[in-house]
Copies of this chain bind each other. A is one copy, B any other.
Amino acid sequence: MKERTLANRAEQAQMAMMLEVCAYPKPGNVDRCHDYSDTRLEHFLASTILVRPVFETAERTGGRVGSLIREAVMLTNSHAGGNTHFGAFILLIPLILGGDIEGARRVVAGTDVQDAIDFYAAFGLTQVRVAKSDDLDVNDPESIAAIRERGMTLADIMAYSAPRDMVAREWTNGFALTRQCADLLHAHGHGREAIVRTFLDLLASVPDTFIAKKHGAEAAERTMRCAGEVLRGGRDLRAFDAECINGGINPGSIADITIAGIYVALGEGWQWDC
């Protein structure tokens, strides 16, 4: 194995996005072996290429986290694959701005109302699912007025969404699952196999909120139990993957957290290339 340090945080983040989508088999998600009819491997890799200018701005000149997330969505929203990395950007942008998890926590603590408003503009550009009970609906112009009136920062918005959204929850708990993901990567060794094993470990330990929003809490918990059976040898990984793909059960939030975890691990010397 050739030891390799990536030149900068922007590259580190792009590599994390690329490595996550290439790793296989990842039950239910687009990977090297599986497309969905409307979202394919090339869409994920196109976003990985096209987002670069925003990551570079975040690294070189900084900027506000809300507007950077909005710009990342704008640059990657132009292909027919729709939103591929919205959740990943919510984690990667503060990580790039702050450098690592410690720095990302400071970025989160420093968000303001304008960040929240820019974030809502980004959200409006995506077709990301919103829980029906949500009174801060992104398609409702009055939400912006409510945010201003209540003086909600982007960190407040994330805290509001955290019970239903594990990506938002990372902003409230100091990136706990991102940290756990990076630790799992280090523990499982280097390269592609470690990513697949880490993904399964996360899938078996926490219900994916993307699945919960799309198919209900029971589906998310069933997926978690099945992943545990795979890890204990009681269920075949490839058969489980096929079941998930056929049912449209894609653990998209755990994929987002895996990308953030790979970014952190790469910054700590984890090697993808072995």
CB contact under 8 A between A49 and B79, given known A22-B42, A273-B42:
no
Q: Which residues of B contact A42 (CB under 8 A)?
A: 18-19, 22, 192, 272-273
Closest B residue to A41 by beta carbon equals B22
* Nearest chain B CB to A246 CB, angstrom units: 20
Closest B residue to A42 by beta carbon equals B22
| Size range of the chain A interface in the assembly | 20 to 34
* Nearest chain B CB to A38 CB, angstrom units: 11
**A4 partner, pick from B14, B15, B79, beta carbons under 8 A:** B79
CB of A18 within 8 A of CB of B2, answer: no
CB of B273 within 8 A of CB of A81, answer: yes
Q: Which residues of B contact A78 (CB under 8 A)?
A: 2, 4
Q: Which residues of B contact A45 (CB under 8 A)?
A: 18, 22, 45
Q: Does A1 contact B (CB under 8 A)?
A: yes
Q: Which residues of B contact A50 (CB under 8 A)?
A: 7, 11
* Nearest chain B CB to A171 CB, angstrom units: 27
Q: Which A residues form the contact surface with B (CB < 8 A)?
A: 1-2, 4, 7, 11, 14-15, 18-19, 22, 32-33, 40-43, 45-46, 48-50, 52, 78-81, 192, 272-274
